[in-house]
Structure 1
Amino acid sequence: MILNTQLEYKGNLFPTNIKSYSKEVDVLHFSTANNVILELTVLRDSILRFRYTTVGKFDNDFSYAIDDESTRGYNHLEIEEDEEKYIITTAKLICNIFKSDLRKSIYDVKDGSVICEDELGFHWEESYELGGDIVKMSKTAQNGESYYGLGDKPQHLNLKGRRFENWATDSYAFGKDTDPIYKAIPFYTGIHHNKAYGIFFDNTFRTYFDFCHERRNVTSFWAQGGEMNYYFFYGPKMQDVVTAYTDLTGTPELPPLWALGYHQCKWSYYPESNVKEITQKFRDLKIPCDAIYLDIDYMEGFRCFTWSKDHFPDPKRMVKELADDGFKTVVIIDPGIKIDNEYSVFKEGLDKDYFCKRADGPYMKGKVWPGECYFPDFTRPEVREWWAGLFKELIEDIGVKGVWNDMNEPAVMDVPGKTFPNDVRHDYDGNPCSHQKAHNIYGMQMARATYHGLKRYNYPKRPFVITRSAYAGTQRYTSTWMGDNVATWEHLQIANIQAQRLALSGFSFAGSDIGGFAEQPNGELYARWIQLGAFHPFCRTHSSGDHGDQEPWAFDDEITNVVRKFIEIRYQLLPYLYTSFYQYSQNKVPMLKSLVLFDQEDHQTHYRTDEFICGEQILICPINEPNAKGRRMYIPKGIWYNFWTKEIMTGGIETWVDADLDSMPIFIKAGAIIPKYPIQQYVGEKNIDQLTLDVYHKDGKEDSELYEDANDGYDYKKRRYSLKKFNLAGTKNKLIVRIHKRGKFITSYDTFKINLIGLPFKVKTIKVDNEYVELKDVQFKNNSLVVSKEFTNLQIKG
């Protein structure tokens, strides 16, 4: 029926016919008879933005998610119309806008196949209780369509058949069906008919996504307020979709290399003697470790930016002594500021009126660890600037190297919903709003302010920040972990899925609390978790501490040896992991790749959850059940070497792989060149005078990369880096490796030790830069040789 000239169906309102259209460069406006406007922006040939208003005008266009440096520009834009529709054509897409109701259909310009089409399309419901509209969008699900993304959701990697809510929530001991949890990242990728597209619903209110759950052939998303504002990305490769989204929302600068080392944490290490005991044991047992964490007990009565004089009488001395032994100190900082007039941080925040307020004037008061607290409004630029300045003593004077932001959903105790009430007000960078809008970005803006504080006071070194809560784009400022998980085998599986899903959602620098935060793992579970964590970008053991110890030596000697072995493997692979981070930071490529991203055309990969690619060339499959001597796993397309046995396997099959407790299924892509450091107890312990290259033979071609710089600082932004591109070409009786170099950084090593793996021939001649060399001159032995790092062409013949 018609109500007030607006089409209505079961309480939902719909756009009516288009009455006018206008174009200004790359922005198109379509206005309907009932005052709806669709603003379509062409960002790139493969990226369109759709923005709707139901009141005839748009609010200020502002987003915390979008990176100012994201790529813009297109090659082709053409607009036509016929009787029933407008037709927008770019170099990659055709988008039809139907004149009768604003519904859209998007096609591949090359073959005309449908990529994504509206079902009901945009519709809304007037929300008299909350104000504004509940904005909705529904899409027709295509045959065989699968869905991925949405950040840290702990359910199956493929989202099809499920419904989700985005509302950052303190979720202690969450399970595989818990929703929502800590993060709100409203981006997903859809795949059907071997083509991938993505949708980023940039709306910070409480949002929902339904992937064919309520209706089998419909995918929908909606929000309890704000605009229907979303970006559409087309691949057709899934990796192109993920990199385009990551480009739009940004990537971090390179971290200091030590941040990719192993970190140890517990609630809590105190007093100082306990911290020293833990760090000394790492060195005594020769288990590499780069960072030690201090949880809330390092503070005076849980007051942020203070130190307990009883537990840590001289923090500056302690932090220096730890640094002298290779340990960087990372401390926790929460958003709640204790109400205490003798506490300078509280007093200054109160005097400057920096704390969040309720709608009718009083400050937002809530209980967290220190007791009753006020909370800074991190959506005000001057508050972020103040917060950044609070880190001067911690970072510049005392020497702390990293900060860990917790409880920033924001979490509040003893209240329904465990967070701020909806009537709390925020500045939102000059766009005043209620907590309904600001909730999901509160943790992001806290992490942003923290990051700028560390960057300022740690300069010329790089900052390291870790956050629990996040919205899209938070990856520009910080790393993350998955929150308060549990020491169970199920949570080991969940950690694997969450890390893959975050990487698919633009947030690669992530890891879980190894061993589980709540409850106590047995030695076998802890060892298996370390094996997985060693291949996650962020690698940290953390536990609640109320159930016993959870250090690498907390079990028996067998477990300690397994843990040491895998942490050592991680330290050997640091140049590979650092190169992966460079590719993520510069090229927006996720550091972890689910098999579906690696090969979307193989439909077997669409429902695989355990296997993933670390970087570009290492295939990992954790053991995630007790008493296992191996497991069945899926080997994707290509030729792969078993890391342990060097046995060659052809992909596209599911197979059994042996893996006793001291092993895990690891495979290396044929043709890969894997750079390795000598084992160090911490980053920078050794002056590296030789770099190892493990070269895996391939009958064909393969490219690899090695990125290096000073491992900290910003000289790399002045071209003081080294980027080596290796081109490998192999046959049954020959192997050629070529190197192309870029950058001005001079590495500390002079030679490569090259391990030739899987050669199908016996080496008879070696040419370096087109000159034959004597085998003894390159120390050739057991298919290993040593050559100058300056070589550009290596030929091995049988």
Structure 2
Amino acid sequence: MEKHEGTTRSKVQSSEMIPVPILEKGVFRFDCSVEDRNNTLPSLSFKNPKCRDTPITSSDVDPTYTPTFELVNKKQRVNIELPPGTSFYGTGEVSGQLERTGKTIVTWNTDAHGYDEKTTSLYQSHPWVLAVLSDGKALGVLADTTRRCKIDLSKESNIKIVAPISYPLITFGPFDSPEDVLMSFSRAVGTVFMPPKWSLGYHQSRFSYDSDQRVREIASTFREKKIPCDVIWMDIDYMDGSRCFTFHKDRFSDPKSLANYLHQNDFKAVWLLHPWIKHEDGYIIYNSGSKEDIWIQTAGGEPFVGEGWVFPDFTKSEARSWWASHVKDFVTNGVDGIWIDLNEPRVSETTMPDSIIHRGDPEYGGKQDHSHYHNVYGMLMARSTYEGMKLANDKKRPFMLTRAGFVGSQRYAATWTGANRSNWEHLRMSIPMVLNLGLSGQPYSGSDIGGYIGNAESKLFRRWMGVGAMFPFCRGHSLKNSANHEPWSFDEECEEVCRLALRRRYQLLPHIYNLFYLAHTRGTPVATPTFFADPKDMGLRKQDNSFLLGPVLVYASTSDASNYQEQHELPKGIWISFDFDDYHQDLPFLYLKGGSIIPLAPPCQNVGEAKREDDITLLVALDKHGKAEGFLYEDAGDGYEYLNGEYLLTTYVAKLQSSVVTIEVSKTEGSWERPKRRLNVILLICTGSVLDAWGIDGEIVQIKFPTLGGAA
């Protein structure tokens, strides 16, 4: 018997859940009964929903952990007991610290404007927990439900999930490492889209740049001040009265001319769309949508109108096609990327009533009330927008950013951490927020650098730029009526730190692009917690002011202390610090793991400046055996020719023998020929000490250690 809200229940059904192996070895689907399994609604998180519903017969492994369940008042309560010392991560877009033990999360997409570390629901929903066991092995747990879901991690080593019945639970592992779990998870829900390379540069935005003339001023100032930047963003005020697919007749009267100006100066243009369509006869988009009958409806069958707006029902294929056709036309204005906002969906400061009706496709669950489709509305809008961009030009990779999302959104769009604040708390939270998104299958994310709400001061902004320049998605953005937050808006020191931080990013772009290639092809995160370097080290489990970009450790200052000399707790092994002759106390410390080789590029102002014939630099740190390995992935930076083998993947190895380090190509892949270019090898010896040599890429390069008392 269980007490709840002052009442006593007498009918409680509880038992172990029933496992069925799916997808691949070590992955199990659990249901409360065979009847539940047969009647479960389709999966919206799996890339191929049939994989969730099709048992495999080749698995001879039983589940290590079997969840138990209780059915109480139309709620399914699932419980998983794990060994002592288990650490919890993931749970999607969440505020607070990196390690999630002690937290409760409610998956309900919410416009959480100005959230804090106690906020339980943000803009995205990921009913997913990554559990790292004390021995470094890991288990992934997905509650495959779109409905409001409570994930209770308040008890150590215990996962409790509560949601309306009935839903399957999917477990991945335990596997040997957290990375293995995430790769298996990605094979189920899909990997991140391969981004166009320009989208990995710096993005500058504001709500809002109030005219096309102001946008031109921003772009020209970046070039004049030689601060690297690739993208300028247009927020909602470019529209005519917030009407989607329109342009303000005075302030943005000629979007094609603006786009041409930006393109001529090596910038891309990203423009905002939202799901709010003005309920206004004569507005061409409204009239078109009404004719096609694509609006979300009330229970009475009439279009739902919220504060003067109607909303496309993206659960219907007809509505998605309608939207995609308008996106296709919109892109012809010189639109390079699209930002979709307010798509939780936000309505009347909250969202739609649960009673609102979506006439969904059968493969999504058919006709359902809003409580079923609320959490996936933003993802389905992202899918439709993505498809519209591909219709406009199928030879370019779409770039999109979405505020709302669900498990699987990474297939269509990048994301960011929403309306954060210009304070030190939000700078500190930015790292664990980006990391937990990555640990939930969303590797392409970042925070609004400097904070969106409020006025940053110089030290906060420059330290935030130092951290944000290392995030997978790198954008500065600020709210209207706040102070200007462009890199030059504070003082000369701040401007110079921003310039240095972004130069770092652009020099590291070949390495960052490598990491996106791995994220796209294997499902690994771009940025990972420091404990990924040694999952068995319990001392690293809560470390959230540092993170890894592959073998590069980024150690940041996220406090307002004047001196940036905190003691760094490094993982076991060899970690050698490096920089780009750009030391500043507000920039993160960088370390390269022994045994690693990473590629670097010459400094540039935008991605388009880089050429394949440019010099390549390899940064090398040997392991204790005197060896190192790394790779460089190269393709056109856009388009899909890489799928037909048009790329070059080079693996480099280094080996120390008799005081000589030899660096050579060990293997190549892809049909591209290697360009004739110089190769600069920089060998990290110890902190502040390097050896380097020049050669030709593809040929053997050697570095000789200096003899005692003599020259090299």
* Equivalent position SS for 2:459: helix
What letter corresponds to residue 439 of structure 1 in structure 2?
Answer: H
Q: 1:312 to 1:730 in 2, by over 3 A?
A: same
Partner residue, 2:269: 329
Partner residue, 2:668: 741
What letter corresponds to residue 345 of structure 2 in structure 1?
Answer: P
Residue number among 546, 549, 552 corresponding to 2:481 in the alignment: 546
Q: 513-522 vs 155-164, which deviates more?
A: 155-164
Q: 602-611 vs 288-297, which deviates more?
A: 602-611
Aligned pair 1:144/2:85, yes or no? Answer: yes
Q: How does 1:504-653 map to 2 (within 5 A)?
A: 504-644=439-579
Deviation at 1:219, TM superposition (A): 2.4
Aligned pair 1:720/2:646, yes or no? Answer: yes
CA displacement 1:145-197 (0-9 Å, x = unmatched): 21111111112211112211110100000001111111101111112231211
Partner residue, 1:770: none
Q: How does 1:27-176 map to 2 (within 5 A)?
A: 38=18, 40-53=20-33, 58-59=38-39, 61-68=41-48, 90=59, 93-95=61-63, 106=64, 116-118=65-67, 121-126=68-73, 133-176=74-117
Q: How does 1:737-776 map to 2 (within 5 A)?
A: 737-739=663-665, 740-746=667-673, 748=675, 750-758=677-685
Deviation at 1:637, TM superposition (A): 1.5
* Equivalent position SS for 1:475: helix
What letter corresponds to residue 453 of structure 1 in structure 2?
Answer: G
Deviation at 1:54, TM superposition (A): 7.9
Q: 1:209 to 1:60 in 2, by over 3 A?
A: closer
What letter corresponds to residue 379 of structure 1 in structure 2?
Answer: T
Q: How does 1:227-238 map to 2 (within 5 A)?
A: 227-238=167-178
* Equivalent position SS for 1:623: coil
8 Å contact kept, 1:630–1:660: no
Partner residue, 1:287: 227
Partner residue, 2:693: 785
Aligned pair 1:338/2:264, yes or no? Answer: no
Q: How does 1:2-41 map to 2 (within 5 A)?
A: 10-11=9-10, 13-14=12-13, 38=18, 40-41=20-21
* Equivalent position SS for 1:43: coil
Deviation at 1:353, TM superposition (A): 0.8
Q: 1:792 to 1:457 in 2, by over 3 A?
A: farther
Partner residue, 1:420: 352
What letter corresponds to residue 638 of structure 2 in structure 1?
Answer: D
Aligned pair 1:315/2:255, yes or no? Answer: yes
Partner residue, 1:85: none
Q: 1:308 to 1:74 in 2, by over 3 A?
A: closer
Aligned pair 1:198/2:140, yes or no? Answer: yes
Aligned pair 1:696/2:621, yes or no? Answer: yes
Deviation at 1:340, TM superposition (A): 1.1
Report the Cα distance in structure 2 between the residues aligned to 1:619 and 1:57, rounded to whole angstroms: 45
Report the Cα distance in structure 2 between the residues aligned to 1:704 and 1:468, rounded to whole angstroms: 34
Deviation at 1:362, TM superposition (A): 2.2
What letter corresponds to residue 742 of structure 1 in structure 2?
Answer: E
* Equivalent position SS for 1:635: coil
Report the Cα distance in structure 2 between the residues aligned to 1:383 and 1:332, rounded to whole angstroms: 19
Deviation at 1:56, TM superposition (A): 6.4
Q: TM-score, normalised by structure 1?
A: 0.83
8 Å contact kept, 2:192–2:523: no
Deviation at 1:624, TM superposition (A): 2.9
Report the Cα distance in structure 2 between the residues aligned to 1:344 and 1:571, rounded to whole angstroms: 43
8 Å contact kept, 1:153–1:180: yes
Report the Cα distance in structure 1 between the residues aligned to 2:458 and 2:550, rounded to whole angstroms: 28
8 Å contact kept, 1:364–1:424: yes
Deviation at 1:74, TM superposition (A): 13
8 Å contact kept, 1:503–1:592: yes
Q: How does 1:245-394 map to 2 (within 5 A)?
A: 245-367=185-307, 372-394=308-330
What is the alpha-carbon root mean square deviation over aligned residues?
2.7
* Equivalent position SS for 1:680: coil
Q: 566-575 vs 748-757, which deviates more?
A: 748-757
Deviation at 1:596, TM superposition (A): 2.5
Partner residue, 1:102: none
Report the Cα distance in structure 2 between the residues aligned to 1:717 and 1:191, rounded to whole angstroms: 34
Deviation at 1:510, TM superposition (A): 0.2
Unmatched runs of 5 consecutive residues or more in structure 2? 707-712
* Equivalent position SS for 1:234: strand
8 Å contact kept, 2:635–2:648: yes
Q: 1:573 to 1:74 in 2, by over 3 A?
A: farther
8 Å contact kept, 1:444–1:469: yes
- Structure showing greater radius of gyration is 1
Q: TM-score, normalised by structure 2?
A: 0.92
Report the Cα distance in structure 2 between the residues aligned to 1:73 and 1:365, rounded to whole angstroms: 37
Report the Cα distance in structure 2 between the residues aligned to 1:795 and 1:440, rounded to whole angstroms: 56
The sequence identity of aligned pairs, in percent, is 31
* Equivalent position SS for 2:500: helix
CA displacement 1:60-105 (0-9 Å, x = unmatched): 6522211139999999968xxxxxxxxxxx45x433xxxxxxxxxx
Report the Cα distance in structure 2 between the residues aligned to 1:710 and 1:578, rounded to whole angstroms: 12
CA displacement 1:339-364 (0-9 Å, x = unmatched): 11111111111111100011122222
Report the Cα distance in structure 1 between the residues aligned to 2:69 and 2:460, rounded to whole angstroms: 48
Q: How does 1:412-491 map to 2 (within 5 A)?
A: 412-414=347-349, 418-430=350-362, 431-491=366-426
* Equivalent position SS for 2:23: strand
8 Å contact kept, 1:629–1:659: no
Deviation at 1:144, TM superposition (A): 1.6
Paired residues in the alignment total 694
Deviation at 1:264, TM superposition (A): 0.1
Partner residue, 2:709: none
Report the Cα distance in structure 1 between the residues aligned to 2:11 and 2:619, rounded to whole angstroms: 61
* Equivalent position SS for 1:684: helix
Deviation at 1:51, TM superposition (A): 2.7
* Equivalent position SS for 1:274: helix
8 Å contact kept, 1:170–1:409: yes
Report the Cα distance in structure 1 between the residues aligned to 2:677 and 2:54, rounded to whole angstroms: 45
Relative CO higher for 1 or 2, CA cutoff 8 Å, sep ≥ 6?
2
8 Å contact kept, 1:728–1:736: yes
Partner residue, 1:220: 160
What letter corresponds to residue 683 of structure 1 in structure 2?
Answer: V
8 Å contact kept, 1:698–1:729: no
Report the Cα distance in structure 1 between the residues aligned to 2:604 and 2:481, rounded to whole angstroms: 32
Report the Cα distance in structure 2 between the residues aligned to 1:578 and 1:273, rounded to whole angstroms: 33
Report the Cα distance in structure 2 between the residues aligned to 1:346 and 1:335, rounded to whole angstroms: 12
8 Å contact kept, 1:619–1:669: no
8 Å contact kept, 2:29–2:52: no
* Equivalent position SS for 1:268: coil
* Equivalent position SS for 2:110: coil
Deviation at 1:720, TM superposition (A): 0.6
Report the Cα distance in structure 2 between the residues aligned to 1:292 and 1:272, rounded to whole angstroms: 11
What letter corresponds to residue 442 of structure 1 in structure 2?
Answer: Y
What letter corresponds to residue 63 of structure 1 in structure 2?
Answer: S
